[in-house]
Structure 1
Amino acid sequence: MTEHKLLKYLAKPFVIPAGVKQLTPVVFTDSKGKYLERYCRNSVENSIKWWNQSGRSSSQALVWLKQNLEYKIGHLDNIALYVWFGTCDLTIYDKNSRYINLRTETDDSIQTIVNNYQEIADLLKSYPGCKLRFLETPPYSVSLWNSYQKHPDVQQFKNDDDILLKQIKALNNHIRYMNDTLGTRTPNLSADIHHRINTSNKNSLNIARNQYNFNLYKDGIHPSKNLAKVWLKKITQQIKTDCW
């Protein structure tokens, strides 16, 4: 997608639902949520509760949820929980250098996320009045984040980008399957930065990182203003269906 297409999507009207909200929408995520929350404007967007925590992995999210879910539901009543992690599971952040690295080249991180999500699903079974949705993990770039942090040699991370994007694709396949078991589907956020490449051109390398327009990101991980607004609008459309 291009900046123009993002603006075209944002120009489409959002219809505020009629009737009374039945569930309180909660987006449970890492720092990605902060970039969307700041653009909440209409009544549906403003009804969203944001459980954001920078650097939070799915394992940390599971621990937090076990400790706080009962109290939160008691306070908010029935909720629709939108679980959105993966970034801090697939890569490791160094607080000193501010660089990130691929956690592993194997599928171990993917399996950890899937196992944690399944435990979250099991937790929510005790609250039949609530709904659970898993949001897909958007593609992101190790090399671009490290470039943003002024790493002197970002070329060394290009192969990590390709491995990471394959991991994200595999993870999102698992997420779609889990949503299918819940009788739902959630927005394909990867589609908003995907663009076609000319595979007939012999000079074109058909590699994973060339399939995404990371110029729509602020820093290789977090969405820029218009992309954040598009993701917020897509998630809010889902919330409108689930909660009204």
Structure 2
Amino acid sequence: MTEYKLLKYLREPIIPPPGQRVLTPVVLTDSKGYWVSKHCTIPTENTIKWWFKSGRTSAQGLEWLRSNLDSKIGQLDNISLYIWLGTCDLTTYDGKYIALRSEEQDTIKTLTDNYQHIIELFRNYPGCKLTFLQLPPYSIYAWNKYKQHPELKQFIEQDIKLLKQYTEINEHISKLNRTLGLISPNFASDIYHKVNKKKSDNKRKASDQYNFNLYRDGIHPDTTLARVWLRKITKLVIFDCW
């Protein structure tokens, strides 16, 4: 998708929700939350609480919930919690560059196990609602290029493997949400573009499918894309919390 199409989407007015809000919307996430939440302007967007921390993995998010969920629900009353974690599970970060964490299934299993632990933890709060947000695609190559890595060629293959893991995680998220009777916005559709049909799936780079020019750095959304993701989350919040 192009920036023009994203801006066209943003021109559609958002209808204020009727009636009284019954749940407080909260997004538990990593640094994506900073770049999206900074664009909250209208009253409905400002009702969303953002619990974000840069570099947060699903394991760290789970531990944070175990330590803080009781007190937070005590402060906010019943919540609709949106889990937007997983990006930092799939790659490592050395303070400047990122790399694929593992080529094996252990990373995916750990992440999906942590999702299940969050579901089990949330069963103690029957008045609350839980949704897993799909992960946006991202690019190891684009991030390391942004950080001026001297040897970028090695990250092309890593991006192909990351894309396969990312796709598998989002398929799992969709299944989890179906069991919870809930849905997630599709954030990938906002940067998707047509691909070369001659390439097989296992040779297709992330940049062949996604327009990472709409990102700041290959991971975090630039202004227009961040506003679109916020709009999608806000529409979901209106449906869930009013």
Name the TM tier (shorter chain). Answer: over 0.9
Task: Map Cα deviations across residues 96-140 of structure 1 (whole Å, 9 max, x no partner).
Answer: xx0001000112111111110111011111111000000011110
1:18-167 matches, cutoff 5 A: 18-95=18-95, 98-167=96-165
How far apart, in 1, do the equivalents of 2:134 and 2:47 lie? 21
| C-alpha contact (below 8 Å) 1:135/1:186 kept by paired residues | yes
| C-alpha contact (below 8 Å) 2:160/2:205 kept by paired residues | yes
How far apart, in 2, do the equivalents of 1:101 and 1:7 lie? 32
Secondary structure of 1:115's partner?
A: helix
| C-alpha contact (below 8 Å) 1:199/1:206 kept by paired residues | no
Note closer, same or farther for the CA distance 1:218–1:208 as it changes in structure 2 (3 Å cut): closer
How far apart, in 2, do the equivalents of 1:84 and 1:53 lie? 11
How far apart, in 2, do the equivalents of 1:124 and 1:106 lie? 29
Where does residue 197 of structure 1 map in the other structure? 195
Amino acid corresponding to residue 5 of structure 2 in structure 1 = K
With structure 2 as the length reference, what TM-score do the two structures score? 0.96
Amino acid corresponding to residue 80 of structure 2 in structure 1 = A
| 1:207 CA displacement | 4.0
How far apart, in 1, do the equivalents of 2:206 and 2:26 lie? 32
Matched, 1:227 2:225: yes
How far apart, in 1, do the equivalents of 2:67 and 2:92 lie? 25
With structure 1 as the length reference, what TM-score do the two structures score? 0.96
Where does residue 240 of structure 1 map in the other structure? 238
More deviation, 104-113/82-91: 104-113
| 1:208 CA displacement | 4.0
| 1:206 CA displacement | 4.2
How far apart, in 2, do the equivalents of 1:169 and 1:198 lie? 18
| 1:200 CA displacement | 5.3
Note closer, same or farther for the CA distance 1:78–1:138 as it changes in structure 2 (3 Å cut): same
Calculate the aligned-residue CA RMSD, in Å: 1.3
How far apart, in 1, do the equivalents of 2:54 and 2:141 lie? 20
Amino acid corresponding to residue 110 of structure 1 in structure 2 = I
| C-alpha contact (below 8 Å) 1:165/1:209 kept by paired residues | no
Where does residue 174 of structure 1 map in the other structure? 172
| 1:153 CA displacement | 1.4
Task: Map Cα deviations across residues 164-183 of structure 1 (whole Å, 9 max, x no partner).
Answer: 01100000000000000000
1:3-14 matches, cutoff 5 A: 3-14=3-14
Secondary structure of 2:115's partner?
A: helix
Unaligned runs of 5+ in 1: none
How far apart, in 2, do the equivalents of 1:226 and 1:207 lie? 24
Secondary structure of 1:165's partner?
A: helix
| C-alpha contact (below 8 Å) 2:160/2:204 kept by paired residues | no
Secondary structure of 1:154's partner?
A: coil
Amino acid corresponding to residue 66 of structure 2 in structure 1 = K
Unaligned runs of 5+ in 2: none
Secondary structure of 2:16's partner?
A: coil
How far apart, in 2, do the equivalents of 1:227 and 1:5 lie? 10
